Amino acid sequence: MATFQLTVNGQRKEVDVDASTPLLWVLREDLKMTGTKYGCGISACGACTVHVDGVATRSCVVPVSLIGNRPIVTIEGVAQDPMGRKVQDAWVEKDVVQCGYCQSGQIMSAVALLKANPKPTDQNIEESMGGNLCRCATYVRIREAIKSASQQLT
Amino acid sequence: MRAAIKLESDLQLTRRSFLRASAIATGGLLVSLYLDIPVSAQEGNQAPPAKVYPPDAFVHVRPDGKIVIQVNRLEFGQGVQTALPMILADELDADWSQVIAELAPAADVYKDPFFGIQMVGGSGSIAHSFKQYRELGAKTRAMLVAAAADRWHVTSDQCRTENSVVYGPGNRSARYADLAKDAAHKPVPDKVTLKNPPDFRLIGKPVKRLDSRPKCDGSQKFGLDLDLPKMKIAVVAHPPVFGGRVKSFDDKAARSLTGVREVFEIPLANGSGVAVVAEKFWPAKQARDLLKIDWDLSGVEHADSAELQARYKQLAGATGNVAVARGDEKALDRIPAARRIVAEYEFPYLAHTPMEPLNATVRFDGDEAEAWVPSQFQTMDQMTIAQVLGLKPDKVTFHTEFAGGGFGRRAVIDSHVPREAAVIAKRLRGTPVKLIWTREDDVRGGYYRPLHVHRVEIGIGPDGMPSAWRHVIVGQSLVAGTPFAAMMIKNGVDNTAVEGAADTSYQIPNFHVSAHHPTVNVPVLWWRSVGNTHTAFVMETLVDELATRARMDPIAYRHKLLKDDAKKLRSVLDLLDEKSAWRKRLPKGHAIGIAVHECFDTAVACAVDVSLENKRPKIHRATVAVNCGLAVNPLTVESQFQAGLGFGITQLMAKGAITLKDGRVEQRNFDGYTPPYIGDVPVTVDVHIVPSTEAPTGCGEPPVPVISPAVVNALAKLTGKRYRSLPLVSL
């Protein structure tokens, strides 16, 4: 067991966990932030996507010991960023969700995409969102919501 | 699950249910459904337990103006948590902005009025509860109006309602919240007049989901997110071959990990396993990885996909138990070989893999227990937990948790996940235990859509239409040996294996469908749209082939082949024809594929635009026409069809199969069993709903069956090949 200092959604947190513990489980079980989801544990579904230093990251395969002092943003804090809020609003406006379990990860990936590329093409969307599985397959509306958020950026 | 599962139908018939209104301590009007012979009374307990809010309540008009509506089903994406309250709120004339929806716990009153158990399945949520929720709303409204009429010394007829307010003569008005206390003393009317459809304010209108925002900001809690004081996390090591048992195990290394509390062998629904209980998930999983288990795999069948396929093909050569026999079975033999098609189809096992891994939380307190389960089968799961703990079901308080998908996977007759959780919780008395199935447990854990082989022989008449059709289906029964068998197996045929073929609306004079149900040591389960996943594929690819041979337009051919009374199917073919004009001017290298199918009383027609990219089908767009009777929430219906089509694409994926070799599942996670991602589904899916005022029918499963045959029919045009084996590994 070891102590780690993390910055999550702008707040300093301290956790005492095994160094191999993936960031996902630190968020969910130690920090009680369950918006970030476990879907596969092998970075194959994207349900656990968070931003580490602004980069969309699969938190299920990143040991907490590798985070260092890089800031973490999760679905619970993404609305602090105007882009995050816009994307969430677009998701609600387009009535995207079904079961909703993957949508935290979808939104985190979409926010990262739009920050890097405010006017993504369909192909850009497929590349950036290509690792986020939605078993309900709400992809048509996910795509619409990303385009809608993109339009509101101008 | 198309066939009625009226497990408790006799019981239902002898029990009158009635509504009762009451005021409760926290204020307001509570409308509850009481059953006059509670289950416990039937079991000899003369004093039925006093029921308190919410176990029998449906609607609570609170003093603060909020209207809390209990949803008698699991919400797992299909949208009932919005649609059922819409139905009730419409008849109640409630202010929709003040409506709060809650998922009801397990209780008799929340049982599906048709199935007799509390469940989601058979795409029946709206179809079965439409009338029920309308009446609840209308009766609650009538009591509020009666209270207002009394107050103003007028008759109810002189009052009208809108947005949670009763209006009376002379500009009088009163809010529901202010009338609730008086209304609670009014008798619940026996009969009530329901609205005429033109008067609907919510039903039939596009209404946004109530659970949208919490699912976008991370605040929605699913079963897996549950956190209780002193809760422990459990994982289970399952045998590598179904039904295997633990011979011995070494847990020394596992126990040495910080946070690991207990390691012990447990009985499973099939065989045995080793449970690890820890403070948190990560130590539990690490400890499980460190277990050294010696498994006894003798005496259990080591199923093997290749072997099963060979065996099934042989079986398909002979007639099985007869599902339908119309006309002359020998007619086929009189048709010359040049006018015959012989087609053999293969379908693999499929896993559901809902996004939220399977889980159940149970706390056992000795004489009672509490459970939190994202469950499609509350009645069965509650019974199973009670049985494991030696309690009566009503001693298990059962909370329905939001589920991250399910597609049938959370409706398991043997309740194996809650069963494991209960077994573990029994040992840790007083401590809540959350059992988590990892994705690997899920992919390898069975309860798959069964592997199937179909063999079809068709004789074509001189007019190009099929005059004889002999169809043999081979696959495991979903319900053999379970309490569901009596209702769903007839003449040795499991209806869930032949639905979509035996009940086809195509008019074929000499028509014969039979089935073999081999027993195989692989647990199987309904997978969204059940038998239609394979039967619709067979029917619609063959009919397409027949249309091509007859050189007829695929829509016109289907029209010609359909029975005269196949009204819903005809309506969607017409609407599809109208809305898919794009199919007449396709880019070079693209082809159109058509499929149409009716299941769960809903008809769906689909047209897809497909090209080949890197030897894979690229689906550019899909147009869908739907007849689901009255579409209660067209926004949800559209969403179900847009996305449900995508779910159906699972069957076409290169890695869209679960395979077994020597008893072991060869896939372990989404790397080996890969459902569709965003690039695998069409960019555009336009959904068109046939206007209707007929009773609403299912929308959860009907989107799934049509896409695979439609895509494969397009591929046939592009490559000249008829693809009869799924998944589409190579083109």
pLDDT digits (tens, 9 = 90+) for B214-244: 999 999 999 999 999 999 999 999 999 999 9
Distance of CA B566 to the CA centre of its chain: 25
Confidence (pLDDT) at B539: 98
B-chain residue closest to A129, CA distance: B678
Which of A41, A102, A63, A72 shows the shortest CA–CA distance to B677? A102
The region, left, alpha or beta by phi > 0 then psi within -120 to 50, assigned to residue A61 is alpha
The answer to whether the peptide bond before residue B705 is cis (omega within 30 degrees of 0) is: no
Is residue B354 less than 8 Å (CB to CB) from chain A?
A: yes
**Is A136–B77 a contact, with Cβ atoms under 8 angstroms apart?**
yes
What pLDDT, on a 0 to 100 scale, did the predictor assign at position B28?
Answer: 75
Q: Please state the rounded mean pLDDT for residues B425-437.
A: 98
Hey, are the CB atoms on A76 and B217 less than 8 Å from each other?
Answer: yes
Least Cα separation, residue A145 to chain B (angstroms) = 12
Q: What gap in Å lies between CA B241 and CA B237, rounded to an integer?
A: 12
Q: Which of B24-28, B75-79, B535-539 has the lowest mean pLDDT?
A: B24-28
- Rounded Cα distance, B177 and B23, in Å: 12
Which residue matches tokens 């033999």? Answer: B333
B371-387 mean pLDDT: 98
pLDDT at B26 over 70: no
Mean pLDDT, residues B124-135 taken together = 96
Q: How confident is the model at residue B56 (pLDDT cuts 50, 70, 90)?
A: low
The band of B18, judged by pLDDT with boundaries at 50, 70 and 90, is low
**Per-residue model confidence (pLDDT) at position B50:** 35
Dihedral sign (CA A133, A137, A141, A144)? positive
Q: Give the residue from chain A lying closest to B215, CA to CA.
A: A100
pLDDT at residue B10, as a whole number:
32
Is the predicted pLDDT of residue B249 greater than 80, yes or no?
A: yes
Q: Nearest Cβ partner of A99 from B77, B676, B678? A: B77
- Which residue has tokens 């950036």? A128
B283–A138: do the CB atoms touch at under 8 Å? no
Residue A96 buriedness (CB in 10 A; 0-12 / 13-18 / 19+): buried
Return the beta strands (E) in B583-653 as ranges.
590-599, 602-613, 616-627
Indicate the pLDDT class of residue B3, thresholds 50, 70 and 90.
very low
Query: Which B residues in the span 611-650 are in contact with A, Cβ-Cβ below 8 Å?
Result: 635, 639-640, 642-647, 649
Which residues in chain A are contacts of B220 at CB distance < 8 A? 100
B356 contacts A18? CB cut-off 8 A: no
CB contacts, 8 Å: B679 with chain A: 126, 130
For residue B365, what pLDDT band results from cuts at 50, 70 and 90? Answer: very high
Residues of chain B found within 8 Å of residue A147, distances taken between Cβ atoms: none
How near does any CA of chain B get to the CA of A52, in Å?
17
- Asked if A140 lies within 8 A of B683 by C-beta distance, the reply is yes
ipTM over 0.95 threshold: yes
Mean pLDDT for chain B overall: 93
Per the document, the length of chain B is: 731
pLDDT, tens digit (0-9, with 9 covering 90-100), for B259-269: 999 999 999 99
Min mean pLDDT across B56-70, B567-581, B704-718 is at B56-70
Concatenated DSSP letters for B46-82? SSPPPP-SSTTEEEEE-TTS-EEEEESS--SSSSHHH
Which residue in B227, B438, B671 is closest to A32 by CB distance? B227
Segment A68-112, tens digit of pLDDT: 999 999 999 999 999 999 999 999 999 999 999 999 999 999 999
Query: What is the arithmetic mean of pLDDT over B473-496?
Result: 96
**A38, A44, A79 member nearest B671 (Cβ):** A44
Q: Can you give the pLDDT at residue B25?
A: 63
The owner of tokens 């995409």 is A113
Distances (CA, A) of B77 to B82, B224, B262, B280, B600: 10, 16, 36, 28, 18
Helix (H) or strand (E) holding B468: strand B466-475
Looking at per-residue confidence, does B186 or A90 come out higher?
A90
**Residue B20's pLDDT band (cuts 50, 70, 90):** confident
Q: Determine the residue of chain B that is closest to A101 in CA distance.
A: B404
CB pair distance less than 8 Å for B649 and A1: no
A chain contacts of residue B219, beta-carbon cutoff 8 Å: 35, 76
The span from the CA of B40 to the CA of B48, in Å, is 6
What are the pLDDT digits (tens) for B453-470? 999 999 999 999 999 999
Nearest residue in A to B206, CA atom: A95
Nearest residue to B225 via CA among A50, A30, A33? A33
Burial of B392 (0-12, 13-18, 19+ CB in 10 A): middle
**Which chain B residues contact residue A102 at CB under 8 A?**
355, 404
CB contacts, 8 Å: A137 with chain B: 643-647, 649, 675-676, 681
- Residue B665, classed as helix, strand or coil, is strand
